[in-house]
Structure 1
Amino acid sequence: MALDTPRALRLIAFGIGGLAALAAVVELTRTILPTDTGHVVTDDTLRGTLARCRDLTPEDYATDTECRAAWEAARQRFFDLAPEPAGTE
């Protein structure tokens, strides 16, 4: 079956239109990543303190103020909380 010129041009036009529609869909569904990296952990002393405190017993944790402060700093960073005012414990 031979294609005549108008029919071939119509198929080419539909093909180009389909490619344009596909390119538009791909462009619109592309995910744009935020440039803000947020809170990046760069404090190795905090990381080291948390590693040490992870293995404490509950009794030792209750008396270790350094561990309690480190875990509070980690919670504030994770939940993006403002520091609590003094005396609210």
Structure 2
Amino acid sequence: MEGKVLARIGAIVFVSIAITATVIEMTREEAPAPASTAPALQPPTDPLRATLRHCQQLGEAAASDADCLAAWAENRDRFLGRTPTPAMPASNGGR
């Protein structure tokens, strides 16, 4: 009979410890996450990107806009990894 009583006492102690741990865990308040002091990383504004957005909003009219054509050429050169070619100087009338 002594073994059964000891087992019951052990089970009661185990259950009471489990209940206590559960109550403590449920009542514990979680600390709010610390506020980040690092500034948000934002890429610098790209004027080409802004021009491309403007051209996108123009729709079909952008196909005849010189600024849009130049922006598309620069974007294409960036994408392909080419260095932009300098503009050809105007000829002096065949001299």
Q: TM-score range, shorter-chain basis?
A: 0.3 to 0.5
Q: Given the two structures, how large is their TM-score scaled by the length of structure 1?
A: 0.41
Higher Rg: 2
TM-score normalised per structure 2:
0.39
